[in-house]
Structure 1
Amino acid sequence: MATILVTGCDTGLGVEFARQYAGDGHRVIATCLDPATATETVAIRGNIEVVKLDVTDHTAIEALSRRLRHDTIDILLNNAGIGRPHPPFGETDYALWDRILQTNLLGPMKMAESFVEQVGRSEAKMMAFISSRMGSIALNNSGGSYAYRSSKAGLNMIVKTLAVDLAPRQICVLALHPGWAATEPGGRVPVAESVAGMRGVIHRAGPHHTGSFVTYHDQPLPW
């Protein structure tokens, strides 16, 4: 069975990724900000280890990588992220913007750099990044959400660049849009459906899919 490292397993998509992968018998390393409050994740049965990790803490990421230095990680699933609130133009919260960039952009990059060796010697050789349709420049017809949009657009650029740089190692790098998942008010896509769809995309992908930006039902999105 595969080993999957998932960030952001405190709530929502992260919890469901951990639940589904563990339910299928895989080994799951589920990171969260505070295991003491991540009750849903802690309650998951199976081969799962819940680990405290803040992806904005680069020292902690490096420490986890050292602890897992002899392991193989088939799928590095960079799920941790924040978005709301979305202050309108003229009311920008720059401290919040900085926190969003640290979490959604720099954190995933640090995870990729820190765990590339473990992924590179695995069988699946997969790095998946949870992006968003809101990071698509071509599809931005509604404006607003400056901090969140910029973080996901930047993440998409990281994915595309990693795909080029890691191609010699046969590592597949994907950006995935989960749909408007029901992790917040108004969300229309059931969380289990979103995660199952993204898992399917990951499972079907190979080196020739690297650098793709696709939806949870495997439809390509423009950058």
Structure 2
Amino acid sequence: MTNILILGATRGLGASLRTLYSSKPDTHVFATSRSSNPEPSQGVTWLTGIDVAQPDAGQKLVSQLSSTKISTAIITAGYFGLETFDSPDWEKQIKMYTTSAIGPVFVVQKLVKAGLLDQGSKVILVSSESGSITLRHEKEGGGNFGHHASKAALNMVGKLLSLDLKPKDIAVGLVHPGFMRTEMTKGVGFDKYWDDGGAITPDEAAERLASFIEKFDINKTGEFWAPGGPGDIGTAEDVLGKNLPTPLQLPW
């Protein structure tokens, strides 16, 4: 039996990954929810009261998982608080950094120390191309400091974790899952870019990501990838050139 752990499994990409993996034979999904009463799903064990932005998230995970070994842990939990230069938001930035770049360190550390992630396991951290300093281009402008910078911080976190965990044969990957048609992007007004920006559904993103994860191994640990290629990355050709491959390894 393959055990998949999905953190942030109630909506968006996390929900689509939960549905996809739970439909596969010989696969069981452990899905996290911040609430205490998520809807039951076949092939899914809910781990409740888990908020990646809280310091006890890792310990709560370990206590609910007991001795269950995890093949792949996917951290999709995220928060996007819209900001501009004229209206930066302290509290939003704290929440974005805590959710994206601080929480994952403590979650992964607890899972490894408890022996639930061990030799051959994979850790997938859902980042964003917006966290690539190299890809940031003047045509997209500034602003959204907390969101973009917290993703850049997550990329460093993933790189550092990969160095710590490589001797244990645990592979750590950073991924840009694609520009998605979700309530999160709609909530910050990005739905106006969906069509021109090639936004995909969470289900499409989940299919791409699952295919990538299946082939991902220790040889790519610590790397940053776009499983769907350059299609929805507006600055890819400006910065990296034309005829780019899919999947596309992204620069820091």
Aligned to 1:113: 109
Deviations 1:136-155 (A, max 9, x none): 00011122210001110000
Q: How does 1:31-50 map to 2 (within 5 A)?
A: 31-36=32-37, 38=38, 42-50=39-47
Instruction: Find the residue that maps to 1:58 and give its secondary structure.
Output: coil
Distance 1:177 1:88 in 2: 23
Instruction: Find the residue that maps to 2:41 and give its secondary structure.
Output: coil
1:222 aligns with 2:214: no
Shift of 1:61: 2.5
1:198 aligns with 2:209: yes
TM, length-normalised to structure 2? 0.81
Shift of 1:50: 4.6
Aligned to 2:19: 19
Aligned to 1:75: 72
Amino acid at match of 1:24: K
Contact 1:4-1:76 at 8 Å conserved across structures: yes
Aligned to 1:135: 131
Aligned to 2:84: 88
Q: Which has the larger radius of gyration?
A: 2
Amino acid at match of 2:144: S
1:58 aligns with 2:55: yes
Given candidates 93, 98, 101, the residue that maps to 1:102 is 98
Contact 1:195-1:216 at 8 Å conserved across structures: no
Same amino acid, percent of matched pairs: 27
1:169 aligns with 2:159: no
Q: How many residues get paired?
A: 216
Deviations 1:115-146 (A, max 9, x none): 1121115xx41000000000000011122210
Contact 1:10-1:34 at 8 Å conserved across structures: no
Instruction: Find the residue that maps to 1:155 and give its secondary structure.
Output: helix
Unmatched segments (≥5 aa) in structure 1: none
Distance 1:173 1:46 in 2: 25
Structure 1's consecutive aligned runs of 4 or more residues displaced over 6 angstroms after TM superposition are none
Distance 1:47 1:87 in 2: 36
Unmatched segments (≥5 aa) in structure 2: 229-246
